[in-house]
Amino acid sequence: MALERKVFMKQLFVKESRNFLLLFIVSLYLIFLPYCIYGEESPSQKTETWFVPKIIENPEVKELDKEGKGTLYQVGELKLCVLEGSYYDMGVQHGRMLAKNIHHVFKTGYIKKALWDRGYTPEYAYAQSARMVKHIPERFLEEARGIIDGLKKVGITDISLEELLLGTTVAEILHFPPDSPPESGKGFSPDSPEVHAVSKTDLTSGPQCTNFVFWGKWTEDGRILHARNLDWSCQRDAQDDAVIFVYHPTDGVKPYMLMGWAGGLGSLTGMNAHQISVGQATLPNSNSTFDGRPCFITVRIMLEQDTLDKVVDVVLKGPEGTGWNYTIADAKTNTARCIESDPAIKNVYGPNDPKENDETKHYGLPDMIRRTNHPVSKEGLVALAKRVGPLIKPPLHIETWEQFKLVLFLFTNHNTYQRYDWLGKQFQSQDGKGPITIQTAMEWLANGPVHNPETLHSCVFDPKNLIIYASIAQNNPIVTASHCPYTKLDMKQWF
């Protein structure tokens, strides 16, 4: 009994010491917190710096190239590539018509600047990519082989299949430091400190991605609209090789589009002929692995589906690798879903969801849904803290929800929560004051804490009418996508 009591007292001492240390660290944050709170506009206030994006309503369309049944167009500010046929044939069309861009991506552009110039070794990157490639369906690998053969048609032979597939797995690899897979526990999101600033003491910095969907009471005719910013480094020339892809596979899948990049097999933003749109956002967590399907492929498979339930099932069935917040809008049922997903956690949310509640300082609203870069669930927030907590200064070591509650005020002062809360307040302030328009949605993407100086692409989907208003960041000098003109694309002519 004496021995058991000694063991118990030792365990209690360790537990209380940890709690004391956590409380001490929290007190330090409380001292310095007033110096790092984000200044933002009030919900109804438009400051002198409020940015009003422009829309190119009737873009000029020029045919640039053809290969088989595929055609490459210039549509206003954007490149649009229509691919049609078997997956191999679509790959050949992609590779031949976009050969110059693909070569730039892998040899002097994004892959070189994001990986090789920043300390990632080829041995490491190819090994981690191979873990994800195992989960890519064969039809897409056949498409990749087609891209390689398309490149060869114009004499480009120095890009291997292994190298090409990095264009589909690089997003996951870049969420972790050089030569440090998720299981190393060494870090998270180092690709762009100005975008993913999890290691900074100032927790209010570092906006990443934002999605919000609204319908019913918020829009003039009740139809659903989906606004989205993809925030990622613009310093490595990814915007130079951005392409709107339209796929017409011959296996019975209806057409769909993706806002992607030359050489990639998928992307992170798209819409299909079934009036469904999809966007995602990074979701830091402690459950990540590279032994799962890359997000580029997950989003593409989601867009192959014809109902909202089937789209959700793609994510729930997995296999998921790293963590993502998926946002899905469906014009047929006029509703939306958000999925909080990693290999261990799968939570699905609808509008005004009771699971989105004050216990975690969240709040749902009717006829809308929004997500940024954090989970809503308690288990998700603990997983977030386990991954990110040790990286901030001073470090935080969170293992339970009771511990997380002690630092909840820190979380609510981080940019990811501020974007979530700011958008909620925009909707609340607009209630009963007239419809929220496409123009309004663009302005919310371009202002307040949602604004990011490094947004690679920005868009507003009108899924019912199969229209997308799309903007790509400019380069030399860099202009963030939400401050560039939005080109109106009526996808009915391309679908």
Cα end-to-end distance, the chain, whole Å:
76
Entry pTM: 0.91
Q: Are 258 and 303 in contact (CB under 8 A)?
A: yes
| pLDDT per residue rounded down to tens, the chain (495 residues) | 444 444 433 443 444 455 545 554 554 444 333 333 333 444 555 667 999 999 999 999 999 999 999 999 999 989 999 999 999 999 999 999 999 999 999 999 999 999 999 999 999 999 999 999 999 999 999 999 999 999 999 999 999 999 999 999 999 999 999 999 998 877 665 433 433 333 333 333 444 799 999 999 999 999 999 999 999 999 999 999 999 999 999 999 999 999 999 999 999 999 999 999 999 999 988 999 999 999 999 999 999 999 999 999 999 999 999 999 999 999 999 999 999 999 999 999 999 999 999 999 999 999 999 999 999 999 999 999 998 888 777 888 999 999 999 999 988 988 999 999 999 999 999 999 999 999 999 999 999 999 999 999 999 999 999 999 999 999 999 999 999 999 999 999 999
**Segments in 270-361 forming alpha helices (H):** 295-303, 308-317
Token reading at 401: 């929800």
CA distance 282 to 196: 10
Which pairing describes strands 78-85 and 242-249: parallel, antiparallel, or unpaired?
Answer: parallel
Cα angle at 458 between 478 and 98, to 5 degrees?
A: 75
Predicted pLDDT at 210: 97
Residue-wise burial string across 85-102, b where 16 or more C-beta atoms lie within 10 A, e elsewhere: bebbbbbbbbbbbbbebb
Contacts of residue 438, Cβ cutoff 8 Å, sequence gap at least 6 = 55, 225, 460, 462, 469
Nearest in space to 135 (alpha carbons), one of 259, 290, 243, 25: 290
Name 448's Cβ contacts closer than 8 Å, sequence gap at least 6. Answer: 40, 41, 419, 422, 426
Q: Check residue 151 and give its pLDDT.
A: 98
Interatomic CA distance for residues 151 and 149, integer angstroms: 5
The residue ranges of DSSP E strands in 77-224, in sequence order, are 78-85, 210-214
Q: In this structure, what are the phi and psi dihedrals at residue 51, rounded to the nearest 5 degrees?
A: -95, 135
In this predicted structure, what is the pLDDT of residue 187?
Answer: 64
Burial category of 200 from C-beta neighbours within 10 Å (exposed 0-12, middle 13-18, buried 19 and up): middle
C-alpha 34/C-alpha 409 separation (Å) is: 12
Question: What does the alpha-carbon distance between residue 386 and residue 399 come to, in Å, rounded to a whole number?
Answer: 7
Closest CA to 357 of 372, 342, 377, 339: 377
Residue whose C-alpha is closest to residue 294's, from 57, 136, 461, 59? 136
Residue 412, CA distances (Å) to 130, 266, 360, 361, 447 in order: 38, 33, 10, 8, 19
Residue 55, φ and ψ in degrees, nearest 5: -120, 130
Q: Nearest to residue 94, comparing CAs of 34, 149, 165, 43? A: 149
Residue 248: its H or E element: strand 242-249
Distance (Å, rounded) from C-alpha 245 to C-alpha 73?
10
Write down the H helix ranges in 250-334. 295-303, 308-317
pLDDT of residue 43: 53
pLDDT of residue 476: 95
CA–CA distances in Å: residue 203 to residues 36, 229, 445: 8, 20, 21
- Are 189 and 175 in contact by the 8 Å Cβ rule? The answer is yes
- The pLDDT score that the predictor gives to residue 4 is 46
